[in-house]
Amino acid sequence: MANPKGAFFLAQILFILINFYLGNCFSTDPVAQQKLDRVGKLPGQNFNVNFAHYSGYVTVNEDSGRALFYWFFEAAEDPDSKPLVLWLNGGPGCSSIAYGEAEEIGPFHINADGKSLYLNPYSWNQVANILFLDSPVGVGFSYSNTSSDNFNNGDKRTAEDNLQFLLKWFERFPQFRGRDFYIIGESYGGHYVPQLSNTVVKYNQATGKKAINLKGYMVGNALTDDYNDRLGIFQFMWSAGLISDDTYKLLNDLCDNESFIHSSSSCEKMLDVASEELGNIDPYSIYTPSCVANVSQSNWLLKKMRTVGRIGEKYDPCTEAHSVVYFNQPEVQNALHVVPSVAPAKWETCSEVVNTHWRDSPRTVLDIYHELMPSGLRIWIFSGDTDAVIPVTSTRYSIDALKLPTVKPWRAWYEEGQVGGWTQEYAGLTFVSVRGAGHEVPLHQPKLALTLIKSFLSGRSMPTLEQIPLSDS
């Protein structure tokens, strides 16, 4: 027979150990929690950095236990004077850490071995403090204590939870209160970014104070308006010679008036036909090699991003696979303060559960643009011109639907004497295309993307042929 006193003693010891562990991971004092969130040297990091970075959880709903995971990088130089940028990837259901940090604008990128890191020479923390957020719950390391939350995500709740995240994050990092703040994202972030911006503006108006000093937002290759985005996608694929005349006509007949996220079966079947005609190319970057290990292209218009490799070295189209290896390592999760009891059984770049069960997705966010433009926010839209998923044609159709007067006409912009893309400035909005970039502009053209963010944050037009490139300050 078991000894009841012994069992009680063991239970007491276990209780003490659990509370000791949690006490060292979480603090009731937000500022003290900032110190606990400080990240040391990461596994596979064989170089030193001159900036601080932090990662951890922020609870956005106490009742259900929804908590969002973040990774924050201070600017490499003079972080006290630099603006704060929130980066959001889309999906819906894709991790901003997997894409934004690990292969686009973050300082730490992952080598082909999946175990070691290299320093991104074009990291955006050269010009700003960068905050990456895995949103909503069920994405990356973000979680909920209520399992049904993962099946009930949508645009509205995501914006509300992201607002709560920001308010609590500023409590944890009070040194950034009042700092010039910008929201930037790509792809389905075309919904997240303006929706969150609108939520912040309304919160500031309701409270009568500028709790969050939002100065503007920018989106890239962004889902904006279902009708115009569909129209532009099919036109781009046809004009690039990727699909047949018959498929082009049927896609327009069956899909133009469909929801982008919740399409009819007849539209889905035509999308499958188009995918088959495209063959095994990367639709997110049509002129670069695809990852041969990733032959399934099903539902690529709606689902997660298959990415390409790092620029400037041997080309590697399987970058996404390297992040899966890296972020599934227990020692990496421990270094990033991931709590084992709430960590996913397997970390994934995108959540199929979140994507498949997405609840609400409005057909357009153009109404939000019209609502926010009078507020004086700086609003930019950029587009890589080799992306077939949300191509430059889609973005131009959506901007045209806003019917804005032109302030500065269409022209080329330059980087080191070469055309970096094209730009047009409207009343309340600036459009920038990036030459030779796919869906993830900072991945394909990192130097041009750095020029883009410098121009955006400074509020200056994209450089002309005669202009000297903007400094890092």
Give the catalytic positions in this structure: 187, 387, 439
What Å distances lie between residue 447 and 184, 311, 458, CA to CA? 17, 10, 17
Cis peptide bond prior to 92, omega within 30° of 0: yes
Name the DSSP letter for residue 56. Answer: E
Please provide the distance, in angstroms rounded to a whole number, between the alpha carbons at the two ends of the chain.
Answer: 73
Give CA–CA dist 253/387, Å, rounded: 23
Please, are residues 164 and 68 in contact by the beta-carbon 8 Å criterion? Answer: no
Indicate the pairing of strand 66-73 with strand 143-144: antiparallel
3 state SS of 382: strand
CB-CB contact of 245 with 408 (8 Å): no
436/322 Cα distance (integer angstroms): 24
Backbone angles phi, psi at 86, to 5 degrees: -100, 130
Q: Report d(CA 23, CA 360) in Å as an integer.
A: 38
Q: Is 47 exposed, middle or buried (0-12, 13-18, 19+ CB in 10 A)?
A: exposed
Count of alpha carbons within 13 Å of 251, Cβ hemisphere only? 25
> Which token pair is 393?
């044609």
**Residues contacting residue 440 through CB under 8 Å, at least 6 positions apart:** 99, 103, 104, 186, 221, 284, 285, 305, 307, 308, 384
HEC letters along 298-345 = CCCCCCCCCCCCCCCCCCCCCHHHHHHHHHCCHHHHHHCCCCHHHCCC
Residue pair 384/448 in contact (Cβ under 8 Å)? The answer is: no
**What is the signed CA dihedral for 286, 291, 293, 296, rounded to 10 degrees?**
-20
